Amino acid sequence: MNQGIDLQGSFVNALVDLGVPAGAAKALWLPLPMVVILVGATVSIFVTVWLERKISAAAQQRIGPEFAGPLGSLQAAADGIKLIFKEDITPAKADPLLFTLGPAIVVIPVFLSYLIVPFGQNLVITDIGVGIFLWIALSSIAPIGLLMSGYSSNNKYSLLGGLRAAAQSISYEIPMALAVLAVVLMSNSLSTIDIVNQQSGYGILGWNIWRQPAGFLIFWIAALAECERLPFDLPEAEEELVAGYQTEYTGMKFGLFYVGSYVNLVLSALIVSILYLGGWEFPVSVSWLASLIGVSETTPWLQVITASVGIMMTLFKAYALVFIAVLIRWTMPRIRIDQLLDFGWKFLLPVSLVNLLLTAALKLTFPVAFGG
Amino acid sequence: MTLAEGVQLVTFGLLTAMTLGGALGVVLLDNIVYSAFLLGGVFTSMSGLYILLNAGFVAAAQVLVYVGAVSVLILFGIMLVNKEQAYVPMKRAWLGKTATGGVCVGLFALLTASTLNTPWAISSQVPTGDMATVTIGIHFFTDYLLPFELASVLLLIALIGAIVLARREFIPDVAPGEPASEALQLPERPRELVSSVSGSEADS
């Protein structure tokens, strides 16, 4: 199953033809996808911040950013430049080492998780066997960074915010992992590529959302809670905790939290679209369309079109989910911390367990529809 | 030496230094919070070593279980029980320290000797790499079935126990006339709003 374009092979071949040794050509290739994904992830912050500002403005009947760039699209860049030039303050009684390390530990796993996000059959940094499990493992590191920044700020609001953040991520990680497990059960693989391939072939009808409606909702709620988005933004609840673990942070250290939260939101949306919305699949099966107009699937121009459509579909699905998340943020009230923990442990966890059991039973009963 | 080998060697050196240095820091540092954070670092470096051994699944599991769960729980414990105690220097503390050091050195010597003297059967098989999940699954359901089932039943009990504890709605009321004993009072007993307001005023 090796459809699509092998960019790595073509790049290495082109360099070898130019007289570069094969090993060096491979070494030259290695950083390229990482840089592309890093740049893509950074650009996604700008898009998401713009969306957030514009949608919140629309929800509150304002205009929103207007003067920085066309339609205010450069507002995020202005914010970033402002953050860079702000004074970097470390509180006098804070622990400077942990204070600096905290934001980095929050941000690094988020960017690392982009390793496994596929935009097409071969358009992924690395298709490792543990795939989605790596993402679950990496997302469990963030609470350490939050605890670290909360503790080192030497501020009771920060400490409470950090503890809340860690409690929240731990309690919502379990339903999330169980929801992922149900998907993995159907695709017989942890690899994100295999998970998307298992949903392909029947267009929109084959997507996991029809087979896992409960899992989709559980995962989306848990993902919102992991991203600390409203209605789950307890760790930084302004009215209660000033700004939670971010209280003492200024300048680019605060900027790192900001970047981390938005990149994490886009990442979660990408993962939801991969797990439940068919990843790079077009709503109508592309191979069926190709056979309809009588073009072989291996035709070069068709492959280029398929790859571009795949990237656009992945991004479109992800940003549709980001849109929903932003809309939820500006229309829903925040829930209380006890409601949050009750909801996670008393409702989502049992429901996700039942969902997993049901999926296993359905897989045994209808192996055709649920991936035998 | 190819590029991959060089990278492996350098990474191995770095990870070993991080693991050993971090572990020493966990034991030797006075600040218990630093020790807890360093413990997380040690676990992360260990998972890096697993990746070098082509065991991606074990590495991810190590991060998930030890960094994401165990370290965070330890940190929670430390931060919630933040007991500020004046440190009273003990008399003749050097005695205990010397004894501990001696035991540690002896243990280290024993382990080194046994490591050097064991004829290690180093497998020449190619690592399974990405197929490790399948191999682990096959082992779980054939020759390691009993331990696997026991562990899973234990975890299931813990999971259901957590749900039952969290869902507990029946809170035994104190019978009228009986003196309320503090040992039987649950911390999460719901109070009427009015009494809680007056109670908190009385407290503060």
The pLDDT value given to residue B150 = 93
- CA B191 to CA A371: how far, in whole Å? 51
- Give the pLDDT of residue B191: 52
pLDDT value of residue B197: 45
Does position A246 have pLDDT exceeding 70, yes or no? Answer: yes
Distance CA B56, CA A129 (A): 8
Contacts of B199 (CB under 8 A, 6+ apart): B191
d(C-alpha B170, C-alpha B100), whole Å: 49
Mean pLDDT to the nearest integer, A346-361: 88
**Letter for the amino acid at A155?**
N
CB atoms within 10 A of CB A280: 27
ipTM computed for the complex: 0.81
Burial (Cβ within 10 Å: 0-12, 13-18, ≥19) of residue B165: exposed
Helix (H, G, I), strand (E, B) or coil at A95: coil
- Taking residues A112-123, report their average pLDDT: 83
Euclidean distance between CA atoms A320 and A314, whole angstroms = 10
Look up residue B69 and give its DSSP letter: I
For chain B (204 residues), the mean pLDDT of every run of 10, in chain order, is 82 92 87 87 91 85 88 84 69 84 93 90 77 84 90 88 72 58 55 48 43
| % of chain A at pLDDT higher than 90 | 6
Question: Whole-angstrom Cα distance, residue A48 to residue A202?
Answer: 31
Distance CA B15, CA A355 (A): 40
Q: List all residues 6 or more positions away from B113 whose beta carbon is below 8 Å from its beta carbon.
A: none
Greater pLDDT, A11 or A97: A97
Output the six-digit token pair for B47.
Answer: 């998972």
Q: Which of A110-114, A232-236, A277-281, B84-88 has the lowest mean pLDDT?
A: B84-88
A289 or A52: whose pLDDT is higher? A52
Q: What is the pLDDT of residue B86?
A: 66
DSSP conformational letter for A234 = G
Q: Taking CB atoms and an 8 Å limit, are B67 and A159 in contact across chains?
A: no
Cβ distance A140 to B3 less than 8 Å, yes or no, reads no
Q: Is A257 on the interface with B (CB under 8 A)?
A: no
Residue A168 pLDDT > 80 = yes
Contact A350 B163 (CB under 8 A): yes
Residues near A182 by Cβ (< 8 Å), separated by ≥ 6? A212, A215, A352, A355, A356, A359
The closest alpha carbon to A88, from A99, A104, A75, A79, belongs to A99
Q: How many CA atoms lie within 13 A of A330 on its CB side?
A: 17
* Amino acid (one-letter) located at A17: D
Whether chain B has a CB inside 8 Å of the CB on A134: the answer is yes
Nearest to A192 by CA among A134, A266, A282, A118: A118
Q: Flag whether pLDDT at A288 surpasses 80.
A: no
Mutate which of A12, A126, A147 to disrupt the B interface (most B C-beta within 10 Å)? A147
- Give B56's contacts in chain A (Cβ within 8 Å): 128-130, 134
Extract the tokens encoding A87: 């004074």
Q: What is the structure's pLDDT at A47?
A: 87
How confident is the model over A126-154, as pLDDT tens digits?
A: 777 788 888 988 888 888 888 888 888 88
Higher pLDDT, B71 or A294: B71
Residue A286 scores a pLDDT above 80: no
Q: Which of A57-61, A90-94, A112-116 has the lowest mean pLDDT?
A: A90-94
Kindly give, in sequence order, each residue whose CB lies less than 8 Å from that of residue B189, ignoring residues fewer than 6 positions away.
Answer: B171
pLDDT of residue B174: 57
Q: Cβ contact (<8 Å) for B72 and A133? A: no
A167 vs B contacts (CB less than 8 Å): 76
Residue B72 to residue A170, Cβ atoms within 8 A: yes
Q: Give the C-alpha separation, A235 to A329, whole Å.
A: 15
- pTM confidence score: 0.82
What's the pLDDT at A342?
81
Among B1, B79, B80, B152, the residue to mutate for chain A (most A Cβ within 10 A) = B79
CA torsion A235-A236-A240-A243 (nearest 10°) is: 140
Mean per-residue pLDDT, A95-100? 85
What's the whole-number mean pLDDT along residues A28-55? 86
Residues of B in contact with A147 (CB under 8 A): 72, 75-76, 79
Q: What backbone torsions phi and psi does residue A188 show, to the nearest 5 degrees?
A: 55, 25
- Give the relative orientation of helices B32-52 and B3-28 as an angle to the nearest 10 degrees: 160
**Start-to-end C-alpha separation, chain A:** 19
Can you read off the two tokens belonging to residue B106?
């002896």
- The tokens for A319 are 């940003």
pLDDT at B110: 95
Residues A241, A155 contacting (CB under 8 angstroms): no
